Structure 1
Amino acid sequence: MTPNAKQKIAIDECDSNILVSSSAGTGKTGVLSGRVIRILHDYLSKKTNKKGTLSRLLILTFTEAAAHNMAVRIKGELKKYPELKSELKLVDSADICTFDSFYQKIVRKYFYLLGIKETFEIIDESVLKFELRKLIDSKFDELYDSNNQLFLNLLDHYTLKDDESIRDLVENVITSSLVVKIGSNSLEEMKDKFLSISEAELDEAYCFYLNRLKDSLHKMQKLFLDNDSEPALKPKRDIVLNNLKRIDEIGDHLDKLVNLAKIYQINPDTQKTPAAKWKDAENPHIRAEFTFIKEDIDSIVKVASNFPTYQEAKKVLKDNEKLYTFFYSICLEVMDKFNSLKLQKGVYTFSDIASLALHLLENNDEVRREISESYDEIMVDEYQDNADIQERFLELIGNNNLFMVGDIKQSIYAFRNSNPTYFLNRYNQYKNGNGGKLVEMSENYRSSKSVIDTVNSIFSTIMTEDFGGANYADGHCLEQPTVRPDPNLGLPTKFLTYTMENTRRDLMSPDKEARIVCEDILQRVRNKEIIKGHPARFSDFCILIDRGTKFEDISKVFAEYQIPLNVENDSDAFSKEIVYVVKNLFLAMAFVCLDKVDTAEFKRSILCLLRSPLYREDNAKIFSYFSENKLKDSEVYKKLLSLKSRCQTSDVYSIYSTLIKEFNVYASLKNFTEVSNSIKLLSDVENQFISMAKMGYSFEDVIAYFQRNEKDKSKLKVRFKSPSNDAVNITNIHKSKGLEYPVVYCLSLYNKYKSIKEDDVLFDRTNGVQFRYTRNDQFDAKEGDVCTNPILAYRKDIIALQEKKEKIRLLYVQLTRAEQQLVFVAHKEEGKEWTAKSIDKCNSFADLLAASKYPFNEEKANLDGKIDSGYKNDAESDVQQDKAKEIKKITLKYSEPNFIFENPVVIRASKKETHTSKAILDLGSKLHEAMEITDFENPDYSLFKDKDIVSALENFINSKIYLENKRAEIYKEYRYYDEDNNSEGSIDLLFIHPDHFVIVDYKFSNLADSDYIKQIEIYADNVRRIFNLSKGSGYLYSLKKGDFKKVL
């Protein structure tokens, strides 16, 4: 296709760094390949003084797939030009590769300058993580044995039940520090300059909250002043304005933040909504503005009022300086040993190799010049995904010859350390003619007019440079190509709505939304609706969701409807049947070689093998083996014994290979679930054994490795895609990037953004470690209560803010995958409009869509509860039925209780009581059970002989909390699934009202532990998500004393 005007500029521009801002679907891959052809023609025609071939170009991508596709695209273009035929043979050896591949190339060439082995290897990260954990455990054992007082003080100060949290933090600090972050402090600097670094961050934290609070209070003040005649505000005007004047007295004194927060918190006239009824408001927008400002103030006050004073916080840093520097000393010592181990063994991760390459360039000018002068141009695809190390690498080897293509609006990989500020900085500089040239491409060749109009309308309202990285309305709107043979009007955007039944939990039901999509797709396929010039087929449709946690539920619905489904998602290999069996096969062999065949672990492994598809022994025979102690008569034991001598003298990879061959694992794959993925799974497991062999692992090491993985609930992520040509696709948005689908269904719009936990911010790669405050930190202002560390609160809020900005870009990626049509599916009450929040308050895609005020054409979803037999079309009918039967068969087989998989852990607030007797623990358990089984409305006390239990029940039933909430929906021991933590939780007592909730968490006696408050907050986050309620409260209840403590 002939390039358009902007594409032509991007292809032809030269003699400068160039940034191409390429919006979705604007043909960036064509520009990159077109530019390669143009440069090669320039070499040939001598338009340039440079003489070269394809080998003079460096083309860098972020994935192997992108590098492969680019090479294929360039080959295809070269074939069109006979005069460039000689370049074709150079494509496979050209530097068209990932950053990681290029780092490896450099390190392998200059290994001798780095002092590492020429034969270094990249090994499985999980194996090196296990080695790091062994070093940490060894150091802790050493400190315990030496009775190191600083170490014991550290544990006493910052641990509760065990030392796992500190071990985890040491591991996190070391692994994070090994990832290069430009401009950050090194671990040594964090240790040596702890106080100055921490005090600077403390200042930032207090300024952040003080300025936010002052700004919000001034907004409230302005709202009252600007709306003097508003009936809803008038009754409280003078009182509120007088109270808000106090903010002017605060100035910039950081130590006054807590005072200001408390003034606001305890003053009912400042807090409360004006008494006048809002229905009297002349302007309904005033109510919305008042609500937004008040919610912002309340959220700041909730956090800041639990801070110590500024001076107290500084004192805590000074008092605990020795503990912090000692902690850093542990990390540095272990990290040195870890690096020495990798150097000795010649094994590294991809991150290690990147760091080595960067170190080489920064410390050897001759090498840097040699690499820099080897290339006439350096091209970078998906430049918006650059991380610190990639940016520094380009700075070192670039020579005003960088050609960077990307889209700030599609920067969605913060979890991979991508930093979109590099793109934004170059964009703004080049736009002003500083340092390079900017080319902006906005003509979209992917999407129909319908899709483009919808995308532009939504993002012109919600995406700004502050929130999203681009002022969308100013120069970033998608455009239809000026010259196009097909006008491609597409299909109108649809919004399929449904109402909730029974309870608000339907709101989060993937089952209901999946059924709506199934009904819609079946109708369109049966009606032979024309999509892209042909009758609709299943492969025309794709479901995109922001996460993959609900894919299994959706897959079950599609199986019921007999609709084929391609599921592309990362999965945990350790949970798969074939991996579980192979792991136990190796463990059984290990126990035989170690003469540990009488252990429970060996018997469990043998049981797994007997019941697996390798043997399929019936239960009666298995029972006889174990009950009659005849396990040694089994075929599996005899075969293991026959291999003992061979395996005792082999490395672990050779043993693995022997077992796979001797037990005919590949021949048995047809009997396993997920047959199509089993070969890939075995390949991933094989790589692990190769890595373990390179580390010289023994049987004991492998056993310990698997035990550690099981204890840590470690996951081995693998990507699967079901093999089917004509099937509906489902994937998460991150995996859809760069792809396109005729019709895109957008589901789970009410999914809440992932909440940031304190554990996520204990270590910051710029400013280092910060611990939670404990009871050892005394604060006069809090009268003995535990305060919140302001630095941790600040880190959480900053990360949450960055994630909210990325979510806007994630929504943009989702919507711009569509070629012909966008279909949104969501709950919506009939006749009721979505409440539009300010962008910074949005916490779901539904919030963002509401904020955009896009005029959706709502359509009541077709969902009558009946399940038809799926798509039937003459000859294809049997094929479709077979596919559906296959899906059902796999699902049922996988559900058989052949193997034991661990259930998610149930999260409960700490039940720890210091020096508690067994009798008290027993009584506490009985009280919990009594609260669960008793009908509070009609209690039967005769069930309980213990007077203490009866008394406790009577106290609760007559309490103010119960009496005020007895008419609500009541849930006892309410269990839920926490998506953020991949775990289950259980709430002792939950009251659900139409507009708010109340949580009650039972304790035996003690209500003072700060961990209890954190757990209530976790409960509340999940209740808000599940029941779609924003308001709520939480109480701790002492079963022994009958006391309540409000903590939320």
Structure 2
Amino acid sequence: MSSPTPNQQRAIDENGTNIIVSAGAGSGKTFVLKERVLKTVKSGVPIDNLIILTFTNAAALEMKNRIRKILTQNKLKDAEIVDSAYITTFDSFANSIVKKYNYLLGMSKDFTIIDSIVVTTEIKKILDDILEEEYKNKEEKFTNFINHLCYKKDDTLRDSLIKCYRSLQNIINRKEFLNTYLDKYYTDSFIEQKLDEYENNIFELLGKFREIFELINEHCTDEEATIENEKTKEMIDNILSIDDLIINFSQLKVSKTKRVYDDEYPNLKDQLDEVKKNITKYLDYTRNDLKRYYLSTKDDVEVIINILLKLDERLMKFKDEKNAYEFIDIEYKAIEVVKNNKDVQEEIRNSTYEIMIDEYQDTNDIQEEFVSLIENNNVYMVGDVKQSIYGFRNANPYIFKSKYDKYAKNENGTKIDLETNFRSRREVIKCINDIFSYIMYDNIGGANYKKDHIMEFGKKFYDENNDKDVDYNVSLLNYKREKEFNYSKDEVEAFIIADDIKKKMDEKRHAYHEVDGKDAFIDISYKDFCILVDKSTNFELIRKILESKGIPVYIDKSLSIKEDDEIFILKNLISLLICIKNQDFSYKFKHAYASICRSYIYRVDDDEIYNIFKNNSFVDTKLFQILEEITKYIDVVSNKELLYMLIDKFDFINKTILVGDVNARIIKLESFINQADSLNKFGMDIYSLENHFENILSSDDSDIQINSIKSDIDAVRVMTIHGSKGLEFNYVYMPYMQSRFKFKESGLISLNKEQGIISPFYDDGLDNTFMYHLNNLNSIKETISEKIRLFYVAITRAKEKFIMVSEFNEKITNNVNLDEHDLLSVKSFEDIITLLKNYLMPYTKYIDINTIEIDKNYLKSKKLDYKTMINKTTDKIETKKLNIHAEKLENKHFSKTISSIINSELRNTLDFGIKMHYCFEVYDFNKNNIDELDIEDKCKKCIKNFLKHEEVKNISSAKVYKEHEIKFNDNGNIMHGFIDLLVEYDDHFDIFDYKLSNIDSEEYEKQLNGYKKYIENKYKKNTNIYLYSIHQDIVKKITK
């Protein structure tokens, strides 16, 4: 970069107060930070008197390297102590404070960081204990609470309570929040304030309704209808409360028919109807009713508070006993030690010249609280509120915005704007300014773009270096698929991008690069192109299509441990080990067994799996025998050693070649081994490891991201917009804009600081309070705001050109003036650009998809997939029933062997049979839990039919064994089988075998007589044997 701009120089020089630097994309933020550090160290301040904080280890390492380099270049000896300076993450800094002052907290400094998923497992255990205690106590408020919120099962309630607790953890002084909750959140003043907010949201919609209504009237061609519409407008203006709106809203109608309006009417009427529909859903209750129903939740909320208090106390006791904490706990302990010890606070303040915070827009409430305790009017904050895109990590952009607005008035600090962009071409910057002036506001987006954030062009090199006749403006590649077109939008957009990249490469375009520290305009290569998407769903599709066109692709993403097969395989192997160890061959065993058979480490075909299940011949398989051998070590070796055994015995590493992405899969396996080792340190064995994997798989919030290995190969980059933050590319594409935003709705119960604990009310059934709707309205606003900021991040990655791809309807007309209220209805990026259609039309290029090469050749991807290795044919196979003589030469089984080829009808019948066996297996014959079972009604009816028979009238008082395995040596033959239902009475046993229909086979009788012989020989009791036909509802006693 050349000499600093005046504002950059201010950002480098200014001191003596708190400073916030609003650094727009490409404005030289990194340059300013390192120059400020250099100036400070040159002035005599040691580098270890600075605290420089950021949010990721990678960012902290990069910052250290840059500071070391610039100090070395200036021959400053502080370069030698950069590694020991506080240039680190918030988490690491808090960790160092707690370790240093651990004695003041009464804790060992040898504490460890515990995985949040392990904590979630413990939370579930503790919550189970608390609820069990409450059920036994039968306290009236708790009983009412359960009756209100639960129907048959309490699983949804449990999940909601866990999410509530996780939200509670982000509230500073959470115990005080809970203990004072009822006194604050049920006061008249609080409720009235929230009702006003609720009404204001509805009246914002009503304002939009009036605006569209007025436009419709302007297009009215009939004088009488115009007069009627004017009266309706007057009625709208006289609506002053939600009660008025309830009374009058149904009367707010457009006069007469569309024949008295011009051609713009249909579109405007559709917009009016959409707003009307949004308003109507908030008009069920008067203001007094809204208040009354909210107050009625107080007892239920009191129960929730008591559960959360107990959960918090017991969880913290668990962490203290294990001397293991989450990062958030360490941050709270850092706050505690500084807050409660003035000498510590003063020591940190006196030894710190300045606290510098990079990416300040990503700060959360806890981090802000910590900084406020150690600052001394010496905090230097750098960031860009327009790039705050980490709400899912609890980043709070309004911390930045609040400081920015205050310091703009010179209240407690100084504001500096870096508005000159040195990254992008003039044309790109103009389009960015135009677009975000339309769609980014204080209330929606979190910044008044037009007033405070307009960027200036700074890279003059571009003006003198450009390709002739090239349009560098932002572009929208628009296309239309006919109904009969046999390709999806996702496929078409990838083909359009492939075609565009090939054209640009063939044209031998040039692009800006820095070469040996100097600006250069050189030939483009594939790594000049980047494809950015909101979600990673289509990464593989993009890769296959581009590679089929000869374009190299590099997918740059973090590895999700839930994304590939490894976690499922390991979890199921562990489940099998535990089942074999416990001689538990229930549905869980069978599900895990089938899963492993079909995985890439075993690859058993479906017919063989079917025969194993049909004959219950699990113990004779090599898979079973390998696992049975490993079970000898299950209680004597560590989790880590056990996983090594599994990986070795099943040749995991070599078999990853069958499915590709070998390095990524090995990285994941290493991660699982480390997790397993970590669990051992907390006293958790292989059984806990199984629960750990189950928790990861069952929860949307329990994924683990692993950094992938970066590559600098010459290939088109494909990444998420989140992953691109901080990066820049010459050509940036953004497809899949139709992908729907994921709006976060309140669950059964939810919790946040603003609305409090949100619980439904009960009035002859459950319904949601106005607080629920207010919370959802705010959540919608926050989601859309973050998506607008995400759009800003995407566009500002582009240096030469930004290209959107969308099936954009050019015929849509929108005569309503675009404002922030319009943005509240968007559900995708495509909706946003639809609102911008009038602006984007000059930059829209229609792509005739019949002129580009679109085909299915990409399906012949070179990436290995073991499932595709199976030869396929288009020949149709006709199956006829064929009797086959079945003979087993070695081990013998009691089960009847299948003796016909499986057609679709037989397959469906067998599937129902397997399902009914499972239902009988989970039904509790002693407790009659049929109403609690999550099974189909027809399955419940089958169980009830069986229970009506005389042969099982006393079963509830007997000992019941299900899927009881037997295995013994009979005259040199190993006999093996499973008894569906074994019932033990004082003087005899009853054996029942379930069949779907036919119970007249001699094979079945032979099978049951084998069972009878074994039971009578072993237990010396008379044994009756029965066949039960599920379809015929017949119990048949076998007497021979």
TM-score class, shorter-chain normalisation, is 0.7 to 0.9
Q: Distance in 2 between matches of 1:134 and 1:435?
A: 48
Distance 1:438 1:895 in 2: 67
Instruction: Confirm whether residue 864 of structure 1 aligns to residue 850 of structure 2.
Output: yes
What is aligned with 2:193?
204
> What secondary structure does 1:854 align onto?
helix
Structure 1 partner of 2:155: 164
User: Equivalent residue for 1:839?
Assistant: 820
Q: For this pair of structures, how many residues does the alignment match?
A: 864
Task: Tell me by how many angstroms 1:130 deviates.
Answer: 0.9
| 2:684 match | 697
Aligned residue number for residue 315 of structure 2 = 338
Is 1:90 equivalent to 2:81 in the alignment?
Answer: yes
Query: How far apart are the structure 2 equivalents of 1:746 and 1:32?
Result: 31
CA distance in 2, matches of 1:221, 1:600: 60
Shift of the 288–712 alpha-carbon distance from structure 1 to 2, 3 Å rule, reads: closer
Mapped to 2, the partners of 1:299 and 1:765 lie a distance apart of 26
Residues in 2 aligned to 1:665 and 1:229: alpha-carbon distance in whole angstroms? 71
Residues 953-968 of structure 1: matches in 2 within 5 Å?
none
* Alpha-carbon distance, 1:892 to partner: 4.1
Deviation string 1:340-376 (CA, Å, 9 cap, x unpaired) is 1111111211112112212222222221221222211
Check if 1:139 corresponds to 2:130.
yes
1:59 equivalent in structure 2? 52
Q: CA RMSD in A?
A: 4.0
Q: By how many angstroms is 1:420 displaced?
A: 1.7
Q: CA deviation at 1:839?
A: 3.2
> For residues 79-104 of structure 1, what are the alpha-carbon distances to aligned partners after superposition, in whole Å with 9 as ceiling and x for unaligned?
2112x0x2222112211111111111
CA contact (8 A) 1:410 1:809 kept: yes
Counterpart secondary structure, 1:175: helix
Q: TM-score, normalised by structure 1?
A: 0.75
Task: Give the conservation status (yes or no) of the 8 Å contact 1:510–1:748.
Answer: yes
In structure 2, the residue matched to 1:49 is none
1:848 matches 2:832: yes
Cα distance in 2 for partners of 1:794, 1:546 equals 27
**In structure 2, C-alpha distance between the alignment counterparts of 1:288 and 1:623, rounded to whole Å:** 58
SS at match of 1:566: strand
| Aligned counterpart in structure 2 of residue 263 of structure 1, from 248, 262, 267 | 248
Could you tell me which residue of structure 1 aligns to residue 556 of structure 2?
568
Q: In structure 2, what is the equivalent of residue 769 of structure 1?
A: 757
Larger Rg: 2
Name which of 400, 415, 421 aligns with 1:444: 421
What is the SS of the residue equivalent to 2:562? helix
CA 1:15–1:184 in 2, change beyond 3 Å: closer, same or farther?
farther
Residues 1:811 and 2:786 are matched in the alignment: no
Q: Partner residue of 2:36?
A: 35
Match of 1:791 in 2: 771
CA contact (8 A) 2:660 2:863 kept: no
Q: Are residues 496 and 229 of structure 1, via their aligned partners in 2, closer, same or farther at CA, if it must alter by over 3 Å?
A: closer
Report SS of the residue matched to 2:73. Answer: coil
Post-superposition CA distance 1:441-495 (Å, at most 9, x none): 1221111122112112222333233333333233422222276587455734332
Please state whether the residue corresponding to 1:342 is helix, strand or coil. helix
The residue correspondences of 1:451-466 to structure 2 (distance < 5 A) are 451-466=428-443
- 8 A contact 1:541–1:728 mirrored in 2: yes
Is the partner of 1:4 in helix, strand or coil? coil
> What CA deviation, in whole Å up to 9, does each residue of 1:58-109 have, x standing for no partner?
1100111111111111122122112x0x222211221111111111111111
Change in Cα spacing, 1:273 to 1:30, as seen in structure 2 (3 Å) is farther
1:406 shift after superposition = 0.7
| Conserved? CA contact 2:433–2:455, under 8 Å | yes
AA at the equivalent of 1:861: I
Aligned to 1:14: 15
Q: Match for 2:117 among 126, 135, 159?
A: 126
Q: Are the aligned partners of 2:748 and 2:760 in contact in 1 as well (CA < 8 Å)?
A: no
CA drift of 1:895 comes to 13
Uncovered stretches (5+) of structure 2, i.e. residues with no partner: 513-520, 873-929, 942-1040
The 1:615–1:166 alpha-carbon spacing in structure 2 relative to 1, beyond 3 Å, is closer
Change over 3 Å in CA distance of 1:598–1:817 after alignment to 2: same
Contact 1:121 1:348 in 2 (8 A): yes
Does the 8 Å contact 1:758/1:792 carry over to 2?
yes
Q: In structure 2, what residue type is equivalent to 1:166?
A: L
2:481 maps to 500
State the partner residue of 1:4. Answer: 4
Separation (CA, whole Å) in 2 of partners of 1:534 and 1:293: 53
Letter matched to residue 825 of structure 1: V
Aligned residue for 2:963? none
User: Is contact 2:389–2:786 with CA below 8 Å preserved after alignment?
Assistant: yes
Matched, 1:413 2:390: yes
Which of 61, 66, 77 aligns to 1:68? It is 61
Structure 2 match to 1:313: 290
In structure 1, C-alpha distance between the alignment counterparts of 2:176 and 2:288, rounded to whole Å: 25
Residue 495 of structure 1 aligns to a residue whose secondary structure is strand
Identity %: 27
Partner of 1:729: 717
Distance in 1 (alpha carbons) for counterparts of 2:854 and 2:601 = 38
Cα distance, 1:625 vs. partner? 7.0
Contact (CA 8 Å) 2:357, 2:381: kept in 1 or not?
yes
Secondary structure of the corresponding residue to residue 69 of structure 1: helix
Task: Provide TM-score, normalisation by structure 2.
Answer: 0.75
Aligned position for 2:525: 537
Q: Distance in 2 between matches of 1:754 and 1:239?
A: 41
Indicate if the aligned counterparts of 1:450 and 1:489 stay in contact, CA closer than 8 A: no
Q: Is residue 571 of structure 2 the alignment partner of residue 583 of structure 1?
A: yes
Aligned to 2:399: 422
Counterparts in 2 of 1:483 and 1:610: CA distance versus 1, 3 Å: closer
Secondary structure (helix, strand or coil) at the match of 1:91 reads helix
* Whole-angstrom distance in 2 between the partners of 1:218 and 1:26: 38
Structure 1 counterpart of 2:735: 747
| 1:549, distance to aligned residue in structure 2 (A) | 3.0
Query: Are the counterparts in 2 of residues 345 and 695 from structure 1 also a CA contact under 8 Å?
Result: yes
Q: How far apart, CA to CA, are the structure 2 residues paired with 1:372 and 1:442?
A: 32
Q: Give me the whole-angstrom Cα distance separating, in 1, the residues matched to 2:79 and 2:866.
A: 46
Q: Distance in 2 between matches of 1:187 and 1:556?
A: 53
- Compute the displacement of 1:209 (Å): 4.4
Question: Which one-letter code corresponds to 1:716 in the other structure?
Answer: D
Partner of 1:800: 780
* Mapped partners of 1:605, 1:429: distance in 2: 59
**Residue 822 of structure 1, aligned match among 799, 802, 805:** 802
User: Pick from 100, 109, 132: which aligns with 2:100?
Assistant: 109
Once the two structures are superposed, the pairs formed by residues 215-226 of structure 1 within 5 Å of their partners are none
Summarize deviations over 1:744-778 as a string: whole Å, max 9, x none: 1121223333334232873223442222234436x
* Equivalent residues of 2:441, 2:449 under 8 A apart: yes
Instruction: Please tell me the residue identity of whatever aligns with 1:680.
Output: I
Task: Verify: 1:380 aligned to 2:348, yes or no.
Answer: no
Runs of 5+ unmatched residues, structure 1: 44-51, 778-785, 872-880, 897-913, 926-1048
1:748 alignment partner, SS class: coil
Distance apart, 1:311 and its partner CA: 2.4
Residues 797/551 of structure 1: CA separation in 2 closer, same or farther (3 Å cut)? same
**CA shift digits 1:300-354 (9 cap, x unpaired):** 2x133112x2323333344442222122112211221111111111121111211
**How far is 1:550 from its partner?**
3.3
Structure 1 position 124, deviation (Å)? 1.5
2:131 maps to a residue whose letter is F
Residues 557-608 of structure 1, C-alpha deviation per residue, up to 9 Å, x if partnerless? 334434332223455423422333333333344445x342655544655565
- Quote the offset at 1:279 in angstroms: 4.9
